[in-house]
Structure 1
Amino acid sequence: MKILVVDDHALVREGLSLVLQGLVPDEPTEVLQAATCERAFELAHFNADLDLVLLDYRLPDMNGLVALGIFAQRHPELPVVILSGSANPSVMQQAMERGAAGFVTKSGLSETLLMALRQILAGGIYHPSGFSLLDGEPAPGTDVTPPVLSRRQQDVLQLLMKGLTNRQICEQLCLGTETVKFHVSNILRLLGASSRTQAVLEARRWGYDRSTPSGTV
């Protein structure tokens, strides 16, 4: 497991690094650290096997929501979790709408963070209790034909929905890292999603968790 922590406070980064060692039992977690978004983008570029990003909402060189959008553009297959000092409903809604895999407040317990990250890595989304993500159905009159995915894209999507990381998908399907990233990016495009998490939600909406929709190839 490889996680990137982006926060301008060294003590926060070091503390999270220690907490994250308990994320996956019996498996070491490598934690990369960045104090700025510029450094975070650089690390993400040179570490194609990243499994997750923890991104502070307030950073000295860029707002966290703006950085979230850049991550979604450059690495749409990579789950990004927003960290914030407060549970502001407006900020939470914006973060989730822009493709965040989760929203976690820094005032919470370490075990809550680990539970949230496990849920996200299993293909879910996470936000503090009491917050309701608006996730509407397609508007009347819109196209109700499921996206057409190739057989290999379906294979990758099924593993995405099981919460497997890109690295695990590579091992499961005997594919290279770049090939998996290519398939994930195309899946997001076909599902009209801006993040891995949104893609899973859209796939479930289309019934990919129940059966293969008609029209796939």
Structure 2
Amino acid sequence: MEEFTAPDRVLIVDDHSLVRDGLRSIFDDTFPDCEILEADCLESALQVLSASGDVDLMLLDLNIPDVSHLSGLERLRDDFPATPVVMVSGVCDRNVVRDALAAGAAGFVPKSLKRAAIVDALQQVLSGEIYMPELEVDDTQAAEEDLIRARIDSLTPQQRVVLGHLVAGRLNKQIAYELDVSMTTVKAHVSAILQKMNVFSRTQAVIMAGKVGFRG
């Protein structure tokens, strides 16, 4: 795991106060200087963010009352694309995990995880990686591949072409020449690719694409 930066501010969104208290306790022990914000629903979370500004990490319960399935995650990702959102849930079904990660979650933390495992998961996300809970061995690999394919499928045709050039090792200048477009256009495509694939560098995007044999 890469080095991580301790968060300054974190938002915990869960309608159960016991869960919020438990997560707050973990942050208090692990990141004692971190400011913890809390909300019991999506609307409250948006109000907190509007009043307090951006945070370094959000923890979002999958089943808060005023959202349907992953609509809360999708709203937060749309409004705060640079902030990682970790889903927290009592359900650890492969399809649920896959859908959450495909929708842009930076991790999926089952509430059944032991305290030390939750800390490890949070540190992994804060280091820029994606945390996936342990499933059955075969399911874990299949879920990861499903996630990658879903994210690649979300790209526009032109973005898929640009990703193919990235996989081939070409620089922005070379891609611009090949596609007969400006450097600004290429940079915009690359930025969109990184956001949709929920990665933070070209290298991560290339590695992810390679895991499913994507060549463009």
Tell me what 1:100 maps to.
Answer: 105
Structure 2 Cα separation of the partners of residues 38 and 86 of structure 1: 23
TM-score, normalised to structure 2, is: 0.68
Tell me what 2:165 maps to.
Answer: 145
Q: Which amino acid aligns with 1:20?
A: F
Structure 2 alignment gaps of length 5 or more: 1-7, 154-159, 174-186, 208-216
Tell me what 2:53 maps to.
Answer: 48
Structure 2 Cα separation of the partners of residues 35 and 85 of structure 1: 16
Structure 2 Cα separation of the partners of residues 64 and 202 of structure 1: 30
Tell me what 1:190 maps to.
Answer: 191
Tell me what 1:15 maps to.
Answer: 22
Asked whether the equivalents of residues 191 and 202 of structure 1 are also in contact (C-alpha less than 8 Å), the reply is no
Cα deviation, 1:174-200, whole Å, max 9, x if unaligned, reads xxxxxxxxxxxx9797242446x7132
Tell me what 1:215 maps to.
Answer: none
Shift of 1:56: 0.2
Shift of 1:109: 0.8
Q: Which amino acid aligns with 2:199?
A: A
Asked whether the equivalents of residues 106 and 130 of structure 2 are also in contact (C-alpha less than 8 Å), the reply is yes
TM-score, normalised to structure 1, is: 0.67
Shift of 1:204: 1.9
Change (3 A) 1:187 1:119: farther
Cα deviation, 1:104-160, whole Å, max 9, x if unaligned, reads 000111111111000100010101113331225979x834334849xxxxxxxxxxx
Report the secondary structure of 2:36's partner residue: strand
Report the secondary structure of 1:61's partner residue: coil
Q: Does 1:4 align with 2:11?
A: yes
Report the secondary structure of 1:129's partner residue: coil
Tell me what 2:200 maps to.
Answer: 200
More helix by share: 2
Report the secondary structure of 1:199's partner residue: coil
Structure 1 Cα separation of the partners of residues 191 and 103 of structure 2: 17
Structure of greater Rg: 2
Q: Which amino acid aligns with 1:192?
A: I
Structure 1 Cα separation of the partners of residues 189 and 67 of structure 2: 25
Shift of 1:22: 2.5
Structure 1 Cα separation of the partners of residues 106 and 72 of structure 2: 14
Report the secondary structure of 2:26's partner residue: helix
Tell me what 2:93 maps to.
Answer: 88
Asked whether the equivalents of residues 57 and 83 of structure 1 are also in contact (C-alpha less than 8 Å), the reply is yes
Asked whether the equivalents of residues 199 and 205 of structure 2 are also in contact (C-alpha less than 8 Å), the reply is no
Change (3 A) 1:74 1:199: same
Change (3 A) 1:188 1:4: farther
1:33 to 35, 38, 41: 38
Shift of 1:203: 4.2
